[in-house]
Structures are given as C-alpha cells and as structure tokens.
Amino acid sequence: MKLYITPTSGNAWKVRLLLSMLKLPFETVVLDTDKKEHKAPEFLKLNPRGQVPVLVDGERVFWDSTACLVYLARKYGGEQWLPSDAEGMAEVQQWLALSNNELHYGLQWARGKKIGIRAIGDYEEYAAYGRNGLAVLESRLKDNQWLACGRPTIADLACYCYTSVSPEGGFDLAAHPAVAAWVKRVEALPGWIKRV
C-alpha cells in the first residue's frame, strides 16, 4: 500500500493514523508543494483534484481522506472503526461531516493563516467557524468518551487531527476541557503516530 501526503496535511495524517492503528504496512510518499508535485501530470492521474491524501492499494486508488478512511475501515477494520449497521454508520458520518466542515474550514484554515500556509481569506471568519466546531465537540464529549458508538471510530481520527493542532491557529483547548481530555485519549490509542 502507498500513501501520498504533504507534511502539513491533517487530512493525510488521518489516514496515516488509521493505517498505523490497523497495523497495515504502507509506503509514504511525501510530495513537495513548493515544487508543485501535487499538480504534476503523473500525480493528477492518481487524483485529478491535485490534493492529498491519495491511497493506492494494489490496483485501487482512493483520494479524499474520508473516502480513504471509509475504505480502510471497511476493508481491514471489521466493525471496530466503522460499524455496518445503519444507525452506527450514520452516527460516524455526522462527525465526518463536522471534520470536513467546521474543523477543516474553521480550525485548519485559521491555523493556516496564523502559520503562513494560507494566503487568502479572513482569519476571524475562519476562527468563528472553528470555535463553533469546538463547541459542538465539547457538547458531545462532556458526556461521552468518544464521538460515536461509545468507542473509538474513524469519526475520532477524522476530528482529532485538526483539533489537536488548533492551538497553532490561536485556539485555546483549555477552554474546552472535554475536548482536551479526548485529544489525550486519542493520543493514548495503540498505534497513534505523530504528524510528519
């Protein structure tokens, strides 16, 4: 298996985490965005969007972190990471949506403005969206150890990555004690790995 990433991609980190937690061997290919390797014709054959992550498993190619997480969880993770029943799958999916919206467009884009990897947009707009995402997480986690199904799932991995680095974007996790405790629980899971 081969995973294409960039060093700053939280979306790629999500997939790396699940691969590690599933104890699956994989090769990491780090693309240099300064050299526009993610826009090179060979890479665009893998993902016409020119984004990471891209997962290659044999002859199959998957792009988008959610697609990669769902594929890996379903193919290699049994019921642990993504339940097959309608209720459990929908419960996980709603947190994947939060990850792809408030956490990505809020926490990550605000972080990008702060650390200089995002040139466009308004920091305060992003930060407001991110604070809303943190409030939703805090509301759920104040009475639950995990986001969905009472156990770690791909919902937790998807939401964890940009939440854990949100202090780099000016967010104070101490103001969200349930979220801060959950970040530590995710980091204590067997197979957890640091971002690149």
Q: Are 26 and 193 in contact (CB under 8 A)?
A: no
The reply to whether 156 falls in a domain is yes
**Has residue 142 got a pLDDT over 80?**
yes
**Has residue 159 got a pLDDT over 80?**
yes
Q: Same domain, yes or no, for 12 and 57?
A: yes
CATH number for position 171 = 1.20.1050.10
Structural domain boundaries, residue 34? 2-76
- pLDDT digits 0-9 by tens, 17-32: 999 999 999 999 999 9
For the chain, where are the E strands, in sequence order? Answer: 2-5, 27-30, 54-57, 60-63
Sign of CA dihedral 93, 143, 104, 161: negative
**DSSP letter at 103?**
I
The reply to whether 50 falls in a domain is yes
Mean of the per-residue pLDDT values for the chain?
96
**Has residue 117 got a pLDDT over 80?**
no
Type of residue found at 77:
G
Q: Same domain, yes or no, for 39 and 15?
A: yes
Model confidence band, residue 169 (pLDDT cutoffs 50, 70, 90): very high
